[in-house]
Amino acid sequence: MELKVLLDEKKISVILNRLCCQLLERHGDFSNTVLIGLQPRGIFLLDQLVNLLVNYGIKSLKTGKLDTTFFRDDFRRSELPLNANSTEMDIRIEDKDIVFVDDVLFTGRSIRSALTAIDAYGRPKSIELLVLIDRRFSRHLPIQPDYLGAQIDALQGDKVKVVWSKDISKNIVYLEKKNE
């Protein structure tokens, strides 16, 4: 497998700070906002954003972690079973402004599942999508991000790997190229 660095720690740091500023611009003091990390990978990006937002004076942020496994549209479509992850939604979302947080936006099917799954907790006022990486030209559904870290072009079969570290200076995003 050929590994190519897409974003190094410096670029990721700049992007994360930019995303925080864009969120601040639209959500102000976050009093009516809930950030929801999508399992399994979006929760790491959520943690990083929450840590950074503290530096911008946002201390009491409402967050949740949502697993969409039971809402996916590919159950029983392959021999591989779908194993769930934990959901932590100890917050009220009725009439709230929700921001879904995920690391990579690819086909858009996970986001569709999340849009269905969130209904089980109430009727939010609005839902937006924040992603670190947008894999362009690979969408199966008409879903686009509202907040975007970086756009990349990758071939079918390539994998985008986001490696999160507790130390923000060690985050990295790779492109794993499919063997020719």
> How far apart are the two ends of the chain, measured CA to CA in Å?
9
Residues 34-73 that bind other proteins (CB under 8 A): 67, 69-71
Q: Which of 9, 22, 50, 122 binds other proteins (CB under 8 A)?
A: 122
Is there binding between residue 141 and other proteins (CB under 8 A)? no
Find the shortest distance in angstroms from Cβ 123 to other proteins: 10
Q: Closer to other proteins at the Cβ: 90 or 167?
A: 90
Question: To which residue do tokens 């009516």 refer?
Answer: 32
DSSP for residue 120: G
Note whether 125 binds other proteins by CB under 8 A.
no
Strands (E), the chain: 2-7, 33-38, 62-66, 97-105, 126-135, 147-152, 159-163, 172-177
* Tokens read off for 34: 């809930």
User: Which CB, 21 or 84, lies closer to other proteins?
Assistant: 84
Q: Please say which residue, 17 or 85, places its beta carbon nearer to other proteins.
A: 85
> At closest approach, how far in Å is the CB of 71 from other proteins?
6
Q: How is 139-155 classified by DSSP, letter by letter? A: -SSS---SEEEEEE---
Crossing angle of the two packed helices 9-27 and 42-55, in degrees rounded to 10: 70
What CA–CA distance (Å, rounded) separates 43 from 53?
15
* Residue 55 or 83 with smaller CB distance to other proteins: 83
Considering only 31, 51, 107, 116, the residue that binds other proteins (CB under 8 A) is 116
The interface with other proteins within residues 80-109 (CB under 8 A) comprises 80-87, 89
Question: With binding defined as CB under 8 A, does residue 124 bind other proteins?
Answer: no
Q: Which residues bind other proteins (CB under 8 A)?
A: 67, 69-71, 75-87, 89, 116, 119-122
